Homo-oligomer: A and B are copies of this chain.
Protein backbone atom coordinates (compact mmCIF):
# COMPACT_ATOMS: atom_id res chain seq x y z
CA UNK A 1 0.00 0.00 0.00
CA UNK A 2 1.38 3.38 -0.99
CA UNK A 3 2.00 5.61 1.99
CA UNK A 4 0.52 8.56 0.13
CA UNK A 5 -2.88 6.95 -0.11
CA UNK A 6 -5.41 8.49 2.24
CA UNK A 7 -8.29 6.78 3.96
CA UNK A 8 -11.90 7.42 2.94
CA UNK A 9 -14.36 7.82 5.81
CA UNK A 10 -18.09 7.31 6.04
CA UNK A 11 -20.21 8.03 9.08
CA UNK A 12 -23.29 6.19 10.25
CA UNK A 13 -25.37 8.77 12.00
CA UNK A 14 -29.06 8.24 11.76
CA UNK A 15 -30.15 6.41 14.93
CA UNK A 16 -29.10 7.30 18.50
CA UNK A 17 -25.69 5.67 18.24
CA UNK A 18 -24.05 2.26 18.26
CA UNK A 19 -24.75 1.88 21.97
CA UNK A 20 -28.26 0.62 22.60
CA UNK A 21 -28.52 2.84 25.67
CA UNK A 22 -27.38 6.00 23.86
CA UNK A 23 -30.93 7.37 23.90
CA UNK A 24 -30.97 7.37 27.73
CA UNK A 25 -28.24 9.96 28.16
CA UNK A 26 -29.61 13.32 29.24
CA UNK A 27 -27.90 15.00 26.29
CA UNK A 28 -29.48 12.67 23.70
CA UNK A 29 -32.24 14.30 21.65
CA UNK A 30 -35.31 12.35 22.78
CA UNK A 31 -37.12 12.77 19.49
CA UNK A 32 -34.48 11.57 17.06
CA UNK A 33 -36.98 9.07 15.64
CA UNK A 34 -39.58 11.72 14.84
CA UNK A 35 -37.64 14.93 14.38
CA UNK A 36 -34.84 15.34 11.89
CA UNK A 37 -33.12 18.31 13.51
CA UNK A 38 -30.60 16.34 15.54
CA UNK A 39 -29.86 14.02 12.61
CA UNK A 40 -29.21 17.02 10.36
CA UNK A 41 -26.95 18.45 13.06
CA UNK A 42 -24.96 15.20 13.19
CA UNK A 43 -24.55 15.09 9.43
CA UNK A 44 -23.39 18.72 9.38
CA UNK A 45 -20.85 17.79 12.03
CA UNK A 46 -19.68 14.89 9.85
CA UNK A 47 -19.36 17.33 6.95
CA UNK A 48 -17.31 19.65 9.15
CA UNK A 49 -15.02 16.65 9.68
CA UNK A 50 -14.75 16.25 5.87
CA UNK A 51 -16.32 12.80 6.01
CA UNK A 52 -16.60 11.55 2.44
CA UNK A 53 -20.08 10.20 2.99
CA UNK A 54 -22.72 9.24 5.48
CA UNK A 55 -24.13 5.75 5.35
CA UNK A 56 -27.79 5.11 6.10
CA UNK A 57 -28.72 1.54 6.90
CA UNK A 58 -32.35 0.51 6.79
CA UNK A 59 -34.44 -2.15 8.42
CA UNK A 60 -38.14 -1.71 7.63
CA UNK A 61 -39.40 -3.94 10.42
CA UNK A 62 -39.33 -3.94 14.18
CA UNK A 63 -36.49 -6.32 15.03
CA UNK A 64 -35.46 -4.94 18.39
CA UNK A 65 -37.29 -5.15 21.66
CA UNK A 66 -38.01 -1.45 21.99
CA UNK A 67 -39.33 -1.70 25.51
CA UNK A 68 -35.86 -0.77 26.75
CA UNK A 69 -33.73 0.02 23.71
CA UNK A 70 -34.26 2.32 20.76
CA UNK A 71 -34.97 0.74 17.37
CA UNK A 72 -31.95 0.46 15.11
CA UNK A 73 -33.72 2.03 12.18
CA UNK A 74 -35.17 5.43 12.12
CA UNK A 75 -36.98 7.68 9.66
CA UNK A 76 -37.26 6.21 6.15
CA UNK A 77 -33.90 6.81 4.39
CA UNK A 78 -35.50 8.35 1.27
CA UNK A 79 -37.39 10.86 3.40
CA UNK A 80 -34.45 11.85 5.58
CA UNK A 81 -31.96 11.89 2.67
CA UNK A 82 -33.97 14.57 0.91
CA UNK A 83 -33.56 16.93 3.86
CA UNK A 84 -29.88 16.05 4.25
CA UNK A 85 -29.28 16.81 0.58
CA UNK A 86 -30.74 20.25 1.11
CA UNK A 87 -28.92 20.96 4.34
CA UNK A 88 -25.41 19.95 3.27
CA UNK A 89 -23.08 20.86 0.43
CA UNK A 90 -20.21 18.42 0.13
CA UNK A 91 -20.76 15.15 1.94
CA UNK A 92 -21.92 12.09 0.00
CA UNK A 93 -25.16 10.41 1.08
CA UNK A 94 -25.38 6.64 0.72
CA UNK A 95 -28.73 5.09 1.53
CA UNK A 96 -29.97 1.53 1.66
CA UNK A 97 -32.80 0.29 -0.54
CA UNK A 98 -33.87 -3.29 -1.05
CA UNK A 99 -33.81 -4.90 -4.48
CA UNK A 100 -36.53 -7.28 -3.29
CA UNK A 101 -39.30 -5.16 -1.77
CA UNK A 102 -39.31 -2.34 -4.28
CA UNK A 103 -40.08 -1.45 -7.88
CA UNK A 104 -36.98 -0.60 -9.96
CA UNK A 105 -38.76 2.45 -11.41
CA UNK A 106 -39.37 3.87 -7.93
CA UNK A 107 -35.79 3.32 -6.78
CA UNK A 108 -34.39 4.72 -10.04
CA UNK A 109 -36.66 7.76 -9.87
CA UNK A 110 -36.20 8.64 -6.21
CA UNK A 111 -32.45 8.12 -6.18
CA UNK A 112 -31.83 10.01 -9.41
CA UNK A 113 -33.99 12.87 -8.15
CA UNK A 114 -31.87 12.98 -5.01
CA UNK A 115 -28.72 12.78 -7.12
CA UNK A 116 -29.62 15.82 -9.20
CA UNK A 117 -30.89 17.72 -6.13
CA UNK A 118 -27.57 17.06 -4.37
CA UNK A 119 -25.46 17.91 -7.43
CA UNK A 120 -24.19 14.36 -7.63
CA UNK A 121 -23.67 13.21 -4.06
CA UNK A 122 -25.88 10.13 -3.82
CA UNK A 123 -25.04 6.49 -3.34
CA UNK A 124 -27.30 3.44 -3.23
CA UNK A 125 -26.51 0.53 -0.95
CA UNK A 126 -28.36 -2.26 -2.77
CA UNK A 127 -29.40 -5.09 -0.44
CA UNK A 128 -31.45 -8.20 -1.13
CA UNK A 129 -33.12 -8.34 2.34
CA UNK A 130 -33.28 -11.65 4.16
CA UNK A 131 -35.25 -10.87 7.31
CA UNK A 132 -38.64 -12.63 7.22
CA UNK A 133 -40.10 -9.87 9.41
CA UNK A 134 -39.38 -7.39 6.61
CA UNK A 135 -40.84 -9.79 4.06
CA UNK A 136 -44.02 -10.08 6.12
CA UNK A 137 -44.42 -6.30 6.20
CA UNK A 138 -44.40 -6.38 2.40
CA UNK A 139 -46.76 -9.32 2.30
CA UNK A 140 -44.18 -11.82 1.09
CA UNK A 141 -41.95 -14.62 2.28
CA UNK A 142 -38.20 -14.52 1.75
CA UNK A 143 -37.13 -16.25 -1.45
CA UNK A 144 -34.05 -18.50 -1.48
CA UNK A 145 -30.72 -16.72 -1.64
CA UNK A 146 -30.00 -17.57 -5.27
CA UNK A 147 -33.35 -16.25 -6.38
CA UNK A 148 -32.93 -13.05 -4.36
CA UNK A 149 -29.56 -12.45 -5.98
CA UNK A 150 -30.85 -13.27 -9.46
CA UNK A 151 -33.54 -10.64 -8.91
CA UNK A 152 -30.93 -8.20 -7.58
CA UNK A 153 -28.95 -8.44 -10.83
CA UNK A 154 -32.04 -7.73 -12.90
CA UNK A 155 -33.13 -4.99 -10.56
CA UNK A 156 -29.81 -3.12 -10.59
CA UNK A 157 -29.47 -3.47 -14.36
CA UNK A 158 -32.98 -2.08 -14.81
CA UNK A 159 -32.31 0.84 -12.48
CA UNK A 160 -29.05 1.64 -14.29
CA UNK A 161 -30.75 1.42 -17.69
CA UNK A 162 -33.48 3.81 -16.48
CA UNK A 163 -30.81 6.20 -15.21
CA UNK A 164 -29.25 6.20 -18.67
CA UNK A 165 -32.54 6.54 -20.57
CA UNK A 166 -32.52 10.33 -20.52
CA UNK A 167 -29.58 11.31 -22.74
CA UNK A 168 -26.81 13.27 -21.10
CA UNK A 169 -27.33 16.14 -23.52
CA UNK A 170 -31.08 15.73 -23.92
CA UNK A 171 -32.04 18.66 -21.69
CA UNK A 172 -31.93 21.82 -23.79
CA UNK A 173 -34.03 24.41 -21.95
CA UNK A 174 -33.61 26.72 -24.93
CA UNK A 175 -36.12 29.43 -24.06
CA UNK A 176 -35.32 31.47 -27.17
CA UNK A 177 -36.14 28.70 -29.62
CA UNK A 178 -38.70 27.03 -27.39
CA UNK A 179 -36.91 23.70 -27.28
CA UNK A 180 -37.28 22.05 -23.90
CA UNK A 181 -35.54 18.75 -24.64
CA UNK A 182 -34.08 16.78 -27.51
CA UNK A 183 -36.44 13.83 -27.39
CA UNK A 184 -34.32 11.84 -29.84
CA UNK A 185 -31.95 11.35 -26.89
CA UNK A 186 -34.69 10.08 -24.57
CA UNK A 187 -35.53 6.45 -25.18
CA UNK A 188 -37.56 3.72 -23.48
CA UNK A 189 -35.48 0.82 -22.14
CA UNK A 190 -38.02 -2.00 -22.63
CA UNK A 191 -36.47 -4.04 -19.79
CA UNK A 192 -38.27 -7.35 -19.52
CA UNK A 193 -36.75 -9.67 -16.97
CA UNK A 194 -37.77 -12.77 -15.11
CA UNK A 195 -38.37 -10.84 -11.89
CA UNK A 196 -38.76 -7.18 -12.83
CA UNK A 197 -39.72 -5.16 -15.89
CA UNK A 198 -39.85 -1.51 -16.81
CA UNK A 199 -40.47 0.35 -20.02
CA UNK A 200 -39.14 3.83 -19.21
CA UNK A 201 -37.80 6.33 -20.04
CA UNK A 202 -37.18 8.06 -16.74
CA UNK A 203 -37.41 11.78 -17.47
CA UNK A 204 -34.65 13.04 -15.19
CA UNK A 205 -31.42 14.46 -16.62
CA UNK A 206 -27.88 13.49 -15.59
CA UNK A 207 -26.38 14.79 -12.36
CA UNK A 208 -22.80 16.13 -12.23
CA UNK A 209 -21.68 12.57 -11.41
CA UNK A 210 -23.99 11.02 -14.00
CA UNK A 211 -25.90 8.79 -11.65
CA UNK A 212 -25.69 7.52 -8.06
CA UNK A 213 -22.79 5.32 -6.94
CA UNK A 214 -23.70 1.74 -6.06
CA UNK A 215 -22.66 0.18 -2.76
CA UNK A 216 -23.03 -3.43 -1.78
CA UNK A 217 -23.09 -4.98 1.66
CA UNK A 218 -23.89 -8.67 1.29
CA UNK A 219 -21.39 -11.44 1.88
CA UNK A 220 -20.60 -14.74 0.20
CA UNK A 221 -19.94 -15.51 -3.44
CA UNK A 222 -23.29 -14.00 -4.52
CA UNK A 223 -22.47 -10.74 -2.75
CA UNK A 224 -19.01 -10.59 -4.30
CA UNK A 225 -20.44 -11.25 -7.74
CA UNK A 226 -22.94 -8.44 -7.33
CA UNK A 227 -20.16 -6.13 -6.09
CA UNK A 228 -17.83 -6.96 -8.98
CA UNK A 229 -20.56 -6.29 -11.51
CA UNK A 230 -21.99 -3.03 -10.21
CA UNK A 231 -20.50 -1.67 -7.00
CA UNK A 232 -17.97 1.07 -6.37
CA UNK A 233 -18.14 0.64 -2.61
CA UNK A 234 -18.41 -2.37 -0.33
CA UNK A 235 -19.59 -2.15 3.21
CA UNK A 236 -17.54 -4.97 4.72
CA UNK A 237 -18.14 -6.87 7.92
CA UNK A 238 -14.39 -7.57 8.17
CA UNK A 239 -13.18 -6.50 11.58
CA UNK A 240 -9.47 -7.15 11.58
CA UNK A 241 -6.49 -7.10 9.26
CA UNK A 242 -6.78 -10.77 8.40
CA UNK A 243 -10.47 -10.84 7.51
CA UNK A 244 -10.18 -7.57 5.61
CA UNK A 245 -7.28 -8.91 3.54
CA UNK A 246 -9.21 -12.07 2.87
CA UNK A 247 -12.23 -10.07 1.73
CA UNK A 248 -10.02 -8.06 -0.61
CA UNK A 249 -8.42 -11.20 -2.04
CA UNK A 250 -11.79 -12.84 -2.61
CA UNK A 251 -13.03 -9.74 -4.39
CA UNK A 252 -9.99 -9.69 -6.67
CA UNK A 253 -10.41 -13.37 -7.43
CA UNK A 254 -14.06 -12.90 -8.29
CA UNK A 255 -13.06 -10.01 -10.55
CA UNK A 256 -10.59 -12.22 -12.37
CA UNK A 257 -13.15 -14.98 -12.71
CA UNK A 258 -15.66 -12.59 -14.24
CA UNK A 259 -13.08 -10.67 -16.23
CA UNK A 260 -13.81 -7.38 -14.46
CA UNK A 261 -11.50 -4.76 -13.06
CA UNK A 262 -11.97 -4.40 -9.29
CA UNK A 263 -9.50 -1.57 -8.76
CA UNK A 264 -12.19 1.04 -8.36
CA UNK A 265 -14.14 -0.88 -5.74
CA UNK A 266 -13.57 0.63 -2.32
CA UNK A 267 -13.81 -1.61 0.73
CA UNK A 268 -14.97 -0.02 3.96
CA UNK A 269 -14.55 -1.69 7.33
CA UNK A 270 -17.14 -0.87 9.96
CA UNK A 271 -15.80 0.56 13.22
CA UNK A 272 -17.53 1.49 16.44
CA UNK A 273 -15.60 4.22 18.19
CA UNK A 274 -15.51 5.57 21.74
CA UNK A 275 -13.19 8.53 22.25
CA UNK A 276 -11.88 9.56 25.66
CA UNK A 277 -9.12 11.78 26.95
CA UNK A 278 -7.27 8.61 27.90
CA UNK A 279 -7.93 4.94 27.40
CA UNK A 280 -9.32 4.68 30.93
CA UNK A 281 -11.60 7.65 30.35
CA UNK A 282 -12.97 6.03 27.17
CA UNK A 283 -13.46 2.70 28.96
CA UNK A 284 -15.34 4.53 31.71
CA UNK A 285 -17.71 5.94 29.11
CA UNK A 286 -18.29 2.43 27.84
CA UNK A 287 -18.94 1.23 31.39
CA UNK A 288 -21.52 3.97 31.84
CA UNK A 289 -23.27 3.04 28.61
CA UNK A 290 -23.29 -0.62 29.55
CA UNK A 291 -24.69 0.27 32.98
CA UNK A 292 -27.46 2.25 31.30
CA UNK A 293 -28.48 -0.77 29.25
CA UNK A 294 -31.74 -2.08 30.66
CA UNK A 295 -32.16 -5.80 30.12
CA UNK A 296 -30.09 -7.65 27.57
CA UNK A 297 -27.06 -7.94 29.87
CA UNK A 298 -27.79 -11.61 30.50
CA UNK A 299 -27.89 -12.16 26.74
CA UNK A 300 -24.55 -10.43 26.40
CA UNK A 301 -22.99 -12.70 29.03
CA UNK A 302 -24.32 -15.74 27.15
CA UNK A 303 -22.94 -14.36 23.89
CA UNK A 304 -19.58 -13.81 25.60
CA UNK A 305 -19.64 -17.37 26.94
CA UNK A 306 -19.92 -18.65 23.39
CA UNK A 307 -17.08 -16.40 22.25
CA UNK A 308 -14.63 -17.82 24.76
CA UNK A 309 -15.92 -21.39 24.91
CA UNK A 310 -16.81 -21.37 28.57
CA UNK A 311 -20.11 -21.09 30.41
CA UNK A 312 -19.88 -17.91 32.47
CA UNK A 313 -22.65 -17.54 35.06
CA UNK A 314 -24.40 -14.15 35.13
CA UNK A 315 -23.75 -13.99 38.85
CA UNK A 316 -20.07 -13.45 38.07
CA UNK A 317 -20.79 -10.24 36.14
CA UNK A 318 -18.56 -8.08 38.29
CA UNK A 319 -15.80 -10.61 38.87
CA UNK A 320 -12.67 -11.55 36.99
CA UNK A 321 -12.34 -15.17 35.98
CA UNK A 322 -10.44 -17.45 38.41
CA UNK A 323 -6.95 -18.55 37.31
CA UNK A 324 -8.02 -22.13 36.57
CA UNK A 325 -10.83 -20.93 34.21
CA UNK A 326 -8.44 -18.74 32.23
CA UNK A 327 -6.53 -21.78 31.09
CA UNK A 328 -9.72 -23.26 29.68
CA UNK A 329 -10.62 -20.25 27.49
CA UNK A 330 -10.63 -21.02 23.81
CA UNK A 331 -10.70 -18.47 20.99
CA UNK A 332 -12.61 -19.33 17.80
CA UNK A 333 -10.48 -18.31 14.85
CA UNK A 334 -13.42 -17.22 12.66
CA UNK A 335 -15.59 -15.62 15.30
CA UNK A 336 -15.50 -11.86 15.53
CA UNK A 337 -13.85 -10.54 18.73
CA UNK A 338 -13.27 -14.03 20.14
CA UNK A 339 -9.48 -13.74 20.49
CA UNK A 340 -9.86 -10.25 21.86
CA UNK A 341 -12.28 -11.40 24.55
CA UNK A 342 -9.88 -14.15 25.63
CA UNK A 343 -7.01 -11.66 25.80
CA UNK A 344 -9.03 -9.24 27.90
CA UNK A 345 -9.93 -11.95 30.42
CA UNK A 346 -6.27 -12.86 30.65
CA UNK A 347 -5.47 -9.23 31.42
CA UNK A 348 -7.71 -9.62 34.48
CA UNK A 349 -10.76 -7.61 33.41
CA UNK A 350 -14.10 -8.48 34.98
CA UNK A 351 -16.88 -9.98 32.87
CA UNK A 352 -18.59 -6.59 32.86
CA UNK A 353 -15.41 -4.83 31.74
CA UNK A 354 -14.77 -7.33 28.97
CA UNK A 355 -18.27 -6.57 27.71
CA UNK A 356 -17.57 -2.84 28.08
CA UNK A 357 -14.75 -3.29 25.56
CA UNK A 358 -17.42 -4.03 22.96
CA UNK A 359 -16.62 -7.70 22.31
CA UNK A 360 -20.29 -8.44 21.59
CA UNK A 361 -20.70 -5.51 19.20
CA UNK A 362 -21.51 -6.07 15.54
CA UNK A 363 -18.34 -4.28 14.39
CA UNK A 364 -14.85 -3.93 15.73
CA UNK A 365 -14.93 -1.48 18.60
CA UNK A 366 -12.05 0.93 19.11
CA UNK A 367 -11.75 2.57 22.50
CA UNK A 368 -9.19 5.07 23.68
CA UNK A 369 -7.59 8.48 23.41
CA UNK A 370 -7.53 10.21 20.01
CA UNK A 371 -3.97 8.93 19.58
CA UNK A 372 -4.91 5.35 20.53
CA UNK A 373 -7.73 5.46 17.98
CA UNK A 374 -5.60 6.99 15.24
CA UNK A 375 -2.92 4.33 15.91
CA UNK A 376 -5.40 1.50 15.55
CA UNK A 377 -7.02 2.98 12.45
CA UNK A 378 -3.62 3.56 10.88
CA UNK A 379 -2.59 -0.04 11.43
CA UNK A 380 -5.86 -1.39 10.04
CA UNK A 381 -5.65 0.93 7.05
CA UNK A 382 -1.99 0.35 6.20
CA UNK A 383 -1.97 -3.40 6.71
CA UNK A 384 -5.60 -4.34 6.22
CA UNK A 385 -6.03 -3.63 2.56
CA UNK A 386 -9.20 -1.63 3.05
CA UNK A 387 -9.81 1.77 1.52
CA UNK A 388 -11.40 3.31 4.53
CA UNK A 389 -13.90 2.94 7.32
CA UNK A 390 -17.48 3.62 8.18
CA UNK A 391 -17.49 5.06 11.66
CA UNK A 392 -20.34 4.36 14.06
CA UNK A 393 -19.96 6.55 17.11
CA UNK A 394 -21.24 4.99 20.32
CA UNK A 395 -23.52 8.01 20.87
CA UNK A 396 -24.10 10.66 18.24
CA UNK A 397 -24.58 13.65 20.46
CA UNK A 398 -21.04 13.46 21.89
CA UNK A 399 -19.28 10.57 20.15
CA UNK A 400 -19.43 12.11 16.68
CA UNK A 401 -18.26 15.59 17.77
CA UNK A 402 -15.43 13.96 19.75
CA UNK A 403 -14.34 11.99 16.70
CA UNK A 404 -14.49 15.02 14.42
CA UNK A 405 -12.81 17.42 16.83
CA UNK A 406 -10.16 15.10 18.26
CA UNK A 407 -9.49 12.05 16.09
CA UNK A 408 -9.82 13.66 12.63
CA UNK A 409 -7.07 16.27 13.33
CA UNK A 410 -4.77 13.47 14.48
CA UNK A 411 -5.40 11.50 11.27
CA UNK A 412 -4.84 14.66 9.24
CA UNK A 413 -1.58 15.41 11.07
CA UNK A 414 -0.35 11.98 10.05
CA UNK A 415 -1.26 12.61 6.41
CA UNK A 416 -3.74 9.74 6.54
CA UNK A 417 -6.84 11.83 5.84
CA UNK A 418 -7.68 14.78 3.63
CA UNK A 419 -8.04 18.29 5.01
CA UNK A 420 -10.46 19.53 2.37
CA UNK A 421 -12.96 18.03 -0.06
CA UNK A 422 -10.94 17.72 -3.27
CA UNK A 423 -13.95 17.30 -5.56
CA UNK A 424 -17.66 17.93 -5.59
CA UNK A 425 -19.41 14.63 -6.22
CA UNK A 426 -19.48 11.33 -4.36
CA UNK A 427 -17.63 9.80 -7.33
CA UNK A 428 -14.93 12.45 -6.83
CA UNK A 429 -14.76 11.61 -3.11
CA UNK A 430 -14.41 7.88 -3.80
CA UNK A 431 -12.17 8.23 -6.85
CA UNK A 432 -14.54 6.24 -9.01
CA UNK A 433 -15.17 7.06 -12.67
CA UNK A 434 -18.19 8.86 -14.09
CA UNK A 435 -20.93 6.45 -15.09
CA UNK A 436 -24.17 6.89 -16.99
CA UNK A 437 -26.55 4.06 -17.69
CA UNK A 438 -25.25 0.53 -17.66
CA UNK A 439 -21.74 1.35 -18.88
Contact = CB atoms under 8 A, between A and B. Distances in A.
A9 interface: no
A312 B256 CA distance: 69
Contact of A137 (B60, B101, B180, B198): B198
A24 interface: yes
A23 B180 contact: yes
A75 B110 CA distance: 8
Interface string A112-141: 011011000000000000000100111110
Interface in A138-171: 138-140
Could you say how many copies of this chain the assembly holds?
Answer: 2
Contacts of A175: 23-26, 28, 30
Contacts of A105: 60, 101, 137-139
A181 B67 contact: yes
Interface string A85-111: 111000000000000011111100110
A258 interface: no
A264 interface: no
A34 interface: yes
Most chain B CB atoms below 10 A, which of A71, A104, A136, A199: A199
Contacts of A205: 33-34
A72 to B, nearest CB: 10
A420 to B, nearest CB: 25
A82 B85 CA distance: 11
Nearest to A178: B294
B197 A139 contact: yes
A223 interface: no
Most chain B CB atoms below 10 A, which of A60, A179, A181, A186: A181
Nearest to A195: B139
Given A83-B83, A83-B86, A199-B133, A113 B178 contact: no
Nearest to A295: B178
A196 B139 contact: yes
**Interface of A, helix, strand, loop or mixed by DSSP:** loop
A71 B203 contact: yes
Contacts of A71: 203
A113 to B, nearest CB: 5
B83 A116 contact: no
Contact of A139 (B21, B33, B103): B103
Given A79-B114, A80-B82, A180-B69, A203 B62 contact: yes
A146 to B, nearest CB: 21
Given A82-B79, A139-B198, A178 B36 contact: no
A221 to B, nearest CB: 28
A372 interface: no
A65 interface: yes
A326 interface: no
A183 interface: yes
A199 B137 contact: yes
Nearest to A73: B203
B30 A173 contact: yes
B203 A110 contact: no
A78 interface: yes
Interface string A260-298: 000000000000000000000000000000001010000
A70 interface: yes
A178 to B, nearest CB: 3
B67 A113 contact: no
B79 A117 contact: yes
Contacts of A200: 137
14 contacts: A23-B173, A24-B178, A28-B175, A65-B183, A66-B203, A71-B203, A78-B79, A78-B110, A79-B82, A79-B110, A101-B106, A105-B138, A136-B199, A137-B200
Name the 4 nearest CB pairs between A and B, nearest first.
Answer: A139-B197, A178-B294, A136-B199, A82-B82
